[in-house]
Amino acid sequence: MRNAVSALLQHDWRGLLHGVTRTHWRALLALAIVSLVFFVPGQFSLQPMDRDEPRFAQASKQMLETGDFVDIRFQEEARHKKPVGIYWLQAAAVKLGAAAGIDDAKRVIGLYRIPSLLGALAMVLLTYWAALAFLSREGALVSALMMAGSVLLGVEARLAKTDAVLGALSVASLGFLARAYFAARTPEASPTLSRNLLIAFWAVIGAAVLIKGPITPLVIALTLIVLAVRDRSLGWFRTMRPGMGLLIVALVVLPWLAMILSKAGMAFITESVGKDMLAKVGGAQEKHGAPPGSYLGIFWLTFWPVAPLALLAAPFAFRERRDDGVALLLAWIVPFWLILEAVPTKLPHYVLPLYPAIAILIVLAAERGELLKARWAQALAAFLMVLVPLVFLIGAPGLFYFVEEGAPLLRLPFLALPFLLIAALVGGYAAWLLFRSGTPIHAMLLALFASLSLTFGAYLYGLPMLKAFNLSPRLAAAAKASGCADPTFASVGYREPSLVFLTDTKIRLADAKDAAAFIEAEGVGCRIAFIERQHEEAFRAALQGKAAPALVTRVRGVNINAAVDKQRRLRVLDIAVYVRR
């Protein structure tokens, strides 16, 4: 232990990394511990993050409520945009939570996030495994650590969606593909993968299709096309037994596909292919449009603290593009990245399956001593290294100040600030180390501590305490505090999926007139209506002169998906909670 601490203090990482990677099991255990330290904080304390996460979670909850594990629905609306895999995983996690005695498990968002947590953990471990085809054990460990500390994977580990699981399956596919490609180009090596590895490769592709459709097969297909053009042959891929592989993929995917087609008919194909996938290609879907180059622009944030090193590795990647390892990594990264930049619909997580290959490419350049040493480049990389924690240090207090209510000094994230300050100081020291001594990998490893401090500040003490953005949990808590037993719900002016998830699947997302009729209905037990202030007068008028229901409380806050009005001013919602017993 003393030697490890000494190595850290002296920035002599080589001995420490060598000790951790003495055996693969030791390396995997170390990576698992580090990953859990990065990914666990906030899993249960963060509210459901509108809108995608509660849509996934609510659909999984409805599977548990109805017992229908084939059709995917959000309330009465068919949700056929994605295949069923992630919903099954989430439903299984909630069932295990309920069996373990967790109270009201179906509304505990942290249980729905367990597949994403495990997917992120698997993505780190599989990055190590995939990187072993390109790098030394120490280099593979560093590549995996890069993934563990990256901002984007940390976010996806805490969202009950598809992307962390898809990322794990994608990097596994890269590892299989790399081993087969290198074996075919090394005469003394075995020309084929073992039968078990081949079965695993195709099973992974089948699982990826069941999670998010054609994304992973598309990345693989683009990689193969680039390699075929480069090598003027794709004969080596026959060793991957594509005929057998298609049969395995079919065995994984077709049973559910047959069931959903028999239940929903061609509506599933129309929704998933026509309205989801092709709509994203044809235009900006759900207001998620952005110009080409957007992914490159946000890369410096989403892959922090690793991204600054990509700047230093870029000349090596271009110069050594004829090298087999570099060529394979570029074939994995570049075509799919260009397609994503060209497609109008853009979301930050779309590029996540490419990040392990970027990490491996950076460490490959470092192991060969070919990271760019130009002072201007190191200065720019150092600036990018310290920029992100500084933005959080300045931006978080500003966000709290402008959206929270109360006395000015109380509108600051006091518990988060020490962690944000530590992140900025450590990030600044890492940037200085990068610029002054020209040791980028050492600087990045040090910056992982800054990333960890940001993780604690944001997910433990920042976001959970940002009351203004926690409208749905506060409304659900107000309903519970009303004393109503098994209430029915309606909401006017606030329609976020998180409210459906936290209250009741049958909540009515109504207008003022419908809400008034709902609240006055006879013989339906306790009723709760959430009425946003701008609809409150119409609601009261629609009560037709009858006694108004009891106003038990008001909840004020900001809808993160509609935080500003047309004049770009902060839009504060004031929601009344009415109860009729």
What mean pLDDT value characterizes the chain?
91
Mean pLDDT of the region 545-564: 86
Bridging pattern class, strands 527-532 and 573-580: antiparallel
Query: CA-to-CA distance for 558 and 402, rounded, in angstroms?
Result: 11
* pLDDT the model gives residue 279: 52
Q: What is the pLDDT of residues 3-34, one digit of tens each?
A: 443 344 444 567 788 889 999 999 999 999 99
Q: Is the pLDDT of residue 367 over 70?
A: yes
* pLDDT the model gives residue 278: 52
For the four alpha carbons of 260, 281, 169 and 455, in that order, the dihedral sign comes to negative
Query: CA-to-CA distance for 458 and 395, rounded, in angstroms?
Result: 12
Angle made by CA atoms 248, 281, 303, in degrees to the nearest 5: 80
Q: How far is CA 160 from the centre of its chain?
A: 8
Query: CA-to-CA distance for 508 and 493, rounded, in angstroms?
Result: 11
Burial degree of 533 (CB within 10 A; 0-12, 13-18, 19+): middle
Tokens standing for 20?
């951790």
* pLDDT the model gives residue 155: 98
Nearest alpha carbon to residue 57 among 94, 83, 103: 94
Tokens standing for 328?
């394979």
Residues 6+ apart with CB under 8 A from 293: 341
The phi, psi pair for 60, rounded to 5°, reads: -65, -40
* pLDDT the model gives residue 301: 96
Q: Which residue has the tokens 């390109």?
A: 134
Q: What is the pLDDT of residues 499-516, one digit of tens each?
A: 999 999 999 999 999 999
> Contact, 310 vs 299, CB < 8 A?
yes
Burial degree of 128 (CB within 10 A; 0-12, 13-18, 19+): buried
Nearest alpha carbon to residue 238 among 230, 248, 228, 226: 228
Write the DSSP string, 511-535: -HHHHHHHHH-SSS--EEEEEEHHH
* pLDDT the model gives residue 289: 64
> Contact, 130 vs 332, CB < 8 A?
no
Residue type, 4: A
Domain spans of the chain? 12-61+114-283, 379-467, 470-580
Q: What is the pLDDT of residues 323-338, one digit of tens each?
A: 999 999 999 999 999 9
Residue type, 144: A
* pLDDT the model gives residue 268: 73
> Contact, 457 vs 419, CB < 8 A?
yes
The pTM (predicted TM-score) of the whole model is 0.94
For the four alpha carbons of 231, 236, 238 and 242, in that order, the dihedral sign comes to negative
* pLDDT the model gives residue 4: 42
Query: CA-to-CA distance for 524 and 505, rounded, in angstroms?
Result: 16
Helix (H), strand (E) at residue 491: strand 488-492
* pLDDT the model gives residue 15: 78
> Contact, 515 vs 508, CB < 8 A?
yes
Cis peptide bond upstream of 580, omega within 30: no
SS3 579: strand
> Contact, 210 vs 85, CB < 8 A?
yes
Tokens standing for 450?
């800054």
Q: Is the pLDDT of residue 190 over 90?
A: no
Q: What confidence tier does 169 reach under pLDDT thresholds 50, 70, 90?
A: very high
Helix ranges (H only) for 294-323 are 294-302, 307-319
Q: Is the pLDDT of residue 189 over 90?
A: no
Q: Which residue has the tokens 């109504």?
A: 510
Nearest alpha carbon to residue 106 among 53, 59, 72, 68: 59
* Cα separation values, 465 from 88, 414, 470, Å: 31, 10, 8
Q: Is the pLDDT of residue 39 over 80?
A: yes
Percent of the chain exceeding pLDDT 90 equals 79
Percent of the chain exceeding pLDDT 70 equals 93
Angle made by CA atoms 447, 450, 453, in degrees to the nearest 5: 155
Q: What is the pLDDT of residues 283-304, one digit of tens each?
A: 555 555 689 999 999 999 999 9
* pLDDT the model gives residue 191: 63
* pLDDT the model gives residue 513: 95
Tokens standing for 174?
């890269």
